Homo-oligomer: A and B are copies of this chain.
């Protein structure tokens, strides 16, 4: 098993999460073993890459039976710290922000969004998917109190950079930005950007032009 503190590259982490999803589903269907070619097919990764990852994880199997799923999954989940609860906050409780609150709370109970922030007073004191909404001005204070590790940005583009800088200043270590603007990662902060509008624009562009 890879030591938890040895930093894995983002692409590797991504593949490990994909493996863990697939193994979990297979285990739930009653399977006990898995072959590397199944992982390769399910996750869309070359068999060589899968075998290289298995060596990195120190997972061993046999050509006849493949790999045992339960210990493999336990190793992956340990390596990915998936059993450790993480607290997060979210800024921007618009359509997308509300959907993310509901989506995340259903899908990942271990990743708890403890507070949301918005500049619309009508939303203060309301709860979405069990998460209370506070005035944006109270973000520093509430982050200091709740000590969340991750911050999710779902505000309009103009305010995103400032918000990321404020979150970093308050002690957030990882930022997930949904605002359709490229923001610069604050120093020492992991930044992940998901540009939903860009994804739609690209899909529309290639749908129209490719064929």
How many chain A residues sit at the interface, stated as a range, is 35 or more
Q: Which of A48-56, A138-146, A197-205 contacts B (4 or more CB under 8 A)?
A: A197-205
Given A204-B111, A207-B150, is A199 in contact with B173 using a C-beta cutoff of 8 Å?
Answer: no
Query: Chain A, 4-23, contact with B by CB distance < 8 Å: what is the 0/1 string?
Result: 11010010011001100100
Name the residue in A7, A13, A84, A99 with the highest tally of chain B Cβ atoms < 10 Å from its Cβ.
A99
A80 touches B194 (CB 8 A): no
Complex Cα distance, B205 from A84, in Å, reads 10
A88 touches B204 (CB 8 A): yes
The minimal Cβ–Cβ distance linking A137 to chain B, given in whole angstroms, is 24
For A111, list chain B residues within 8 Å (CB). Answer: 200-201, 204
A176 touches B194 (CB 8 A): no
B172 touches A5 (CB 8 A): no
Given A44-B182, A81-B208, A95-B102, is A192 in contact with B203 using a C-beta cutoff of 8 Å?
Answer: yes
| Chain copies in the assembled complex | 2
Given A80-B201, A108-B197, is A207 in contact with B86 using a C-beta cutoff of 8 Å?
Answer: yes
For A209, list chain B residues within 8 Å (CB). Answer: 4-5, 7, 81
Q: Tell me whether A188 is interfacial, beta carbon within 8 Å.
A: yes
A95 touches B99 (CB 8 A): yes
The minimal Cβ–Cβ distance linking A79 to chain B, given in whole angstroms, is 10
B13 touches A205 (CB 8 A): yes
The minimal Cβ–Cβ distance linking A190 to chain B, given in whole angstroms, is 4
- Closest 3 pairs (CB-CB, A-B): A174-B207, A99-B99, A190-B206
A residues contacting B by CB (< 8 A) are 4-5, 7, 10, 13-14, 17-18, 21, 42-44, 80-82, 84, 86, 88, 95-96, 98-100, 102-104, 106-108, 111, 149-150, 152, 157, 172-176, 180-182, 184, 188, 190, 192, 194, 196-211
